[in-house]
Structures are given as structure tokens and as C-alpha cells.
Amino acid sequence: MTLVWAEIAKLGQWQPLDSEEHIHPGELTGSTTSDERDQGHVDRLTRSILHHGYSPERHGQLGLNLTDHGENIYHHASGIETYPEDHQPHEHLLQALQDAGYGEVPVHIHDQQSDPDGEPAPRYYHGTTESDLEHVRPNHSTRGTFGPATHAPGYAYATGLESAKDYAERAADQHGGRPRVFEVHPRGPVEDDPKFDAAGNNRGNNLDDKRSRHGFSVVGEVPLGHDEEY
């Protein structure tokens, strides 16, 4: 057992690990194609990096997210030249660093993998009526799914297995369709989903609900045994 994991074991529970490493942009892989990126954002950042040199405070900082299901880059921190309306700044920054031919840069590492000596990472689930789900993306509206309470914009949601089943059943009751539950894994840091919204309304969510600004990717669908009912 490594020293870091030994210290975690003393706490009696799994915790993500955060660190920073210098990594060459050419060793990192994004998840978008050139058609999906905004080339204007990429060109603007490339010119700035060539003119000023790369600076996390100016251009933002990449993060590398590690889970039991793989790794991905994400947007760890904004810089003064990060556009607020840019919904994939990490992809644009990575491409700009590569286009500028830049060398090693500081990358924040967010390790959400299971403890190699036995403590498993949390498993997350998403309840829905949507079929063929591949990603749970951040919701940029504030309308709540159930009742009058609101969501904070810019988050995607996941939860424990039983809560996901509950949400799937509620969605089917209110909107029709077949309840489905998908196991998902996070694409960046995860936090507790607040029980109350900014106006003090109980949002009707469950205590094990989580949210992330970076979304979740689907691992697979969980069989519910409801096929004969739909």
C-alpha cells in the first residue's frame, strides 16, 4: 500500500486524490473532432499563447480525470481569456497548445479510481426514460425535473442505484415511457447535490444525489425486469 493510500485508509472511507503534473499536450487526447470545436476559439487562444507564452491564469488550466473506466481531460480552471459562453474550453485549450507547439504544461490530476488495496470508488447511476443514453450532459436551464424547485444551471446529475430507480419510475409516471437506469462514471470532480435551491425550496432530491459540472459517461444499462410491462 502506498503512503497516500495508507493515509486514506486511516479515514475509513474512499476519497479522490488531487495532484499536479507537467504533461506535454501531445500526450493528451481530447474527445471532440475538428467539426465539433469552435476554430475561432482555438485560433484566438493559439495566437495569445504564441504571443504571451502559456499561463494558467490567462488561458485556463487543463485537468486529467482518472476513473476505473478510463481517463479524460476536463476544464479545471478558467483564465482571464476564457470565454464564459465557451462550453468546451478544455478542448479548445488543448488544441491551441498543440497548434502552438507548446511543451509541458501543468495539468491538474483528479484521481477517482478505486483504492488499489481494496476500497472501491463510488458507483453512480442515472434514472431516465431515455433509451440509448451515452452521456449525461450539464443542464444549462434552471427548470427542475420534479416540482417547483429549480436546478443550478451548468450541472449534470447522478445518484445511487435505488435513487436512480426511483427517479426513473417518477419520470415514467409523469412523462410516459419505460423507466431505465444507467450506470455512469464522472468526467470530472463530483459534489453533493444541495437539498434546497437558492430560494429555499426543497428540491425533492435524495440524500445520495451528486452533481458535476463536467457530466457523466454511460458504462451500461442496469436491467430492471420491467420489459413485460412496457
DSSP class per residue in 188-205: S--EEPPSB-TTS-B---
- 91 within a domain of the structure (yes/no): yes
- 116 within a domain of the structure (yes/no): no
Q: What is the mean pLDDT of residues 103-114?
A: 97
CATH of residue 149: 3.20.170.40
Examine the fold and report which residue of 111, 134, 153 is the final residue of a domain before the chain moves on: 111
11 burial (CB, 10 Å; 0-12 / 13-18 / 19+) is: exposed
CATH of residue 17: 3.90.1530
Q: What is the mean pLDDT of residues 205-216?
A: 94
Tell me the percentage of the chain whose pLDDT exceeds 90. Answer: 68
C-alpha dihedral, 17 to 21 to 24 to 28, nearest 10° = 0
Q: How many folded domains does the chain comprise?
A: 2
Q: What is the mean pLDDT of residues 185-200?
A: 91
Q: What is the mean pLDDT of residues 172-192?
A: 95
151 and 175 belong to one structural domain: yes
72 and 140 belong to one structural domain: no
pLDDT in tens, 118-146: 789 999 999 999 999 999 999 876 665 55
Q: What is the mean pLDDT of residues 216-227?
A: 88
Distances in Å between the Cα of 90 and the Cα atoms of 53, 71, 83, 107 are: 17, 14, 11, 11
Amino acid identity, position 205: N
- 119 within a domain of the structure (yes/no): no
Examine the fold and report which residue of 111, 135, 160 is the final residue of a domain before the chain moves on: 111
Amino acid identity, position 113: Q
Q: What is the mean pLDDT of residues 89-116?
A: 96
Answer whether 158's CB lies under 8 Å from 191's CB. no
- 43 within a domain of the structure (yes/no): yes
87 and 136 belong to one structural domain: no
132 and 158 belong to one structural domain: yes
Distance (Å, whole) CA 129 – CA 147: 18
Answer whether 159's CB lies under 8 Å from 204's CB. no
98 and 133 belong to one structural domain: no
- 206 within a domain of the structure (yes/no): yes
Model pTM?
0.86
Look at residue 25 in the predicted model and tell me its pLDDT. 97
- 118 within a domain of the structure (yes/no): no
State the pairing for strand pair 180-186/124-128.
Answer: antiparallel
138 and 100 belong to one structural domain: no
The domain in which residue 85 lies consists of 3-111
Q: Which residues of the chain form beta strands (DSSP E)?
A: 17-23, 61-67, 70-77, 105-111, 124-128, 135-136, 156-158, 180-186, 191-192, 210-212, 216-222
Q: What is the mean pLDDT of residues 67-76?
A: 96
Examine the fold and report which residue of 66, 89, 111 is the final residue of a domain before the chain moves on: 111
pLDDT in tens, 9-58: 445 588 999 999 999 999 999 988 888 899 999 999 999 999 999 999 99
